[in-house]
A and B are shown apart, each in its own frame.
Chain A
Amino acid sequence: NAGVTQTPKFRILKIGQSMTLQCTQDMNHNYMYWYRQDPGMGLKLIYYSVGAGITDKGEVPNGYNVSRSTTEDFPLRLELAAPSQTSVYFCASSRGQGNSNQPQHFGDGTRLSIL
Chain B
Amino acid sequence: AQKITQTQPGMFVQEKEAVTLDCTYDTSDPSYGLFWYKQPSSGEMIFLIYQGSYDQQNATEGRYSLNFQKARKSANLVISASQLGDSAMYFCAMRGTMNRDDKIIFGKGTRLHILP
Contact = CB atoms under 8 A, between A and B. Distances in A.
Interface of A: 31, 33, 35, 40-43, 45, 48, 50, 56, 58, 88, 90, 92, 94, 96-98, 100-101, 103-106, 108-109
A31 B97 CA distance: 13
Q: Identify the 8 closest CB pairs spanning chains A and B, nearest first.
A: A106-B45, A100-B33, A42-B108, A103-B47, A100-B97, A43-B106, A97-B102, A42-B109
Contacts of A33: 104
B100 interface: yes
Nearest to A57: B101
Contact of B97 (A92, A98, A109): A98
Interface in B21-77: 31-33, 35, 37, 43-45, 47, 50, 52
Nearest to A94: B104
Contact of A97 (B43, B97, B106): B97
B44 A108 contact: yes
A100 B106 contact: no
Given A43-B91, A103-B50, A96 B102 contact: yes
22 contacts: A33-B104, A42-B91, A42-B106, A42-B107, A43-B106, A50-B102, A90-B45, A92-B45, A96-B102, A97-B100, A97-B102, A100-B31, A100-B32, A100-B52, A100-B97, A103-B37, A103-B47, A103-B50, A104-B93, A104-B104, A108-B43, A109-B44
